[in-house]
Structure 1
Amino acid sequence: YTPTEAATIAVFYAIVVGLFVTKKLKLKHMPKILFDSAVASSVLMLVVGMATALSRILTILQIPQAIANELTAFTSNKIILLLLLNLLLLFVGCLMDLGAAVVMFVPCLLPLAEQLGLNLVHFGAMVTINLIIGFFTPPVGVCLYVGTSVGNVTIEELCKVIMPFVVIGIVLALIVTFVPAVTLWLPTMMGY
């Protein structure tokens, strides 16, 4: 299944179980459930739409290419460049949708990764982990808005709870960045 198909099947399964197995879900509850789902989805889609618009504007203005050029002009030290690359990807992940960020930044940062001698699998893992950390980090973290809707809490309450996970994610990103064997052991065992 694709993620969308899996979500559809999960919703269908939950409705069947709620109506016929546990019998806690009543048909009279369905309009409110559908309305609440629509509100939560609309908030998420608004954030995704704005992030996509921002990514298109940045692409037209060639900002990602300029950032990649500035990083290499700033220093030639591999450790500093890797730290700056992580910071850039974390920042981008905080502001943009994951898919849009990958499409926009990976082609621009790929020459930098090759210049640093990074394995492409390793580079892909770095990009993905940093962008996912940004996905649940303020100010735009899309998952935060879903969490506030589902948990019925304020963004401030959720941010306090999520911060230990952000710290763990950053530590993991640094481990993946500076210990390539963590990422490459399985592909190496498979002959890639």
Structure 2
Amino acid sequence: MGRSALYALAGSAALLTGLLIGDLRGESPPYASARTPFVKVLAQQYGPADTLVLGDSLVEQTYLAGACGRTFNAGIGGARTQQAMQALPGLLEATQPRTVVIAIGANHFAAGDEMEDFRRLYPQLVSMAGGYDLILVGVANSPAASAFVAQTAKERGARYVQAVTGPTGPDGLHYTATGSKRLREAIAGACRQA
């Protein structure tokens, strides 16, 4: 094996170890933080949109083009509320939407229960989207977080979309194609209620 192949193998092993350690600590994987600037650049290229859908990998894997008019999918795999808060101002500036859909939270509960952080940060994220027509989506893997999102929607005068819980694939979290279609339909239905 050549020297460059060994370096590539060592680098891959280091990256995988870092991702695993971060995941075991309940930290957001570096992927979410690294991907956020790319999503912002895509939003700048996309330009004005009717709807901005901000979320995690459950959103990222869902085909949303045309779901709510001209729809920009700002799904960021691995994202927690913290990454969504960092991304939102730039995404709003780039897309200038009428409607903002927030579908975030699954990563707070994928490796444990981070309800305290979610309760503290989620209202701040929603406040950042104040002034827009707002749709809040429940959290697929946490009935308690979904109830909190529903209550937040009620308090803020936003529309609430029940969590889409599946069907999911082998990991029990990410949707199959049918599950993703259900998420798309749920979001599109909420947009039609405007």
Tell me which interval the TM-score lies in, with the shorter structure as reference length: 0.3 to 0.5
Could you state the TM-score of these two structures normalised by the residue count of structure 1? 0.36
- Which of the pair is proportionally richer in strand? 2
- Which of the pair is proportionally richer in helix? 1
Compare CA radii of gyration and give the structure with the larger one: 1
Could you state the TM-score of these two structures normalised by the residue count of structure 2? 0.36
